Chain A
Amino acid sequence: MQSFEEERLLTAVVELLAEKGHVSASEIAERIAITDEASPRLGARLVAKAWLDPAFRQLLLADGSKAAESIGIMMRGVPPLGVLENTSDLHHLVVCTLCSCYPRAVLGYPPFWFKSPAYRARAVREPRAVLKSWGTALPSTTRIRVVDSTADYRWMVLPVRPAGTDGLNEDALAALVDEGDLIGVTIPSFDVAN
């Protein structure tokens, strides 16, 4: 909730930007709408598509922004999207030790813990302990790669498709993937009994 003073300041800045021709009120409204609409559901859809379609998977890994645009996600004016492929031998964990760089276009607003000093400090130094605190146990043979997001790219993880999901369609697969899986603190699972 903004205070009256903050509201006044915001209005003044927006009016100045419009007056000087930098950005119009409708462009700001459009950007806010896009940001509000973005959620981990978009990232999950990219993942489900990549699990089903090898050509899409290739595109996603080579050029995340192009892949996102190809399914109608607005990537104009946002930082390029890089996608990190997990395998049974390699697990990626994304952190921004400097601040809170996050692939908002495909994941929405970052969760509070992603911005916490504790996560940012621990992820690079004791990633396996961090994963354990999320209940994520990886085999000791799986190599861990921490990706510190420091500059112009924004990074998302492409998790390993869980076993037993052969017959599932795109929607069902996307439903298995959540925010933590796309950051790398958790891995998607599938209960065969379902």
Chain B
Amino acid sequence: MTLDVGSRVRVDDRWPERQGPAHIRTPHYLRGRRGKIVRYLGEFADPEQLAFNRPAQRRALYHVMFASADLWVDAEPADILVEIFDHWLVEEA
């Protein structure tokens, strides 16, 4: 665990699927968006490696909270709570 509960984070604006076959568990609609760590969920084998039967590193998984208003201009007000692996999260100052 490297990120504290309450930390402000940004989801990396990376698109590995543009470089070739990829298995990404970070939804498109969150790339580059800001959220907040609400819970550490444990360590799990990296699905991006597992999907290709490569040796999979264990990575910290977090529950990250977003506000729908920060994701879509026409969204209804709601919290959006999503599991995201730590290598997709950048801590904000």
Contacts and interface: CB of A to CB of B under 8 A. Distances in A.
Interface of A: 80, 82, 97-98, 124-129, 143-153
A88 to B, nearest CB: 16
Contact of A148 (B42, B75, B77, B81): B81
Contacts of B9: none
Given A146-B81, A150-B83, A151-B61, A97 B27 contact: yes
B88 to A, nearest CB: 10
Given A146-B80, A150-B26, A151-B85, A125 B61 contact: no
20 contacts: A80-B41, A97-B29, A124-B68, A124-B78, A125-B74, A125-B75, A129-B76, A143-B78, A146-B68, A146-B79, A146-B81, A147-B81, A148-B81, A150-B25, A150-B83, A151-B44, A152-B41, A152-B44, A152-B47, A153-B83
B89 interface: no
B2 to A, nearest CB: 17
Interface string B1-39: 000000000000000000000000111010000000000
Tier of interface size on chain B: 20 to 34
Contacts of A129: 76
Interface in B46-84: 47, 61, 68, 71-72, 74-84
A128 B79 CA distance: 12
Nearest to A149: B83
Given A125-B75, A126-B75, A127-B76, A148 B27 contact: yes
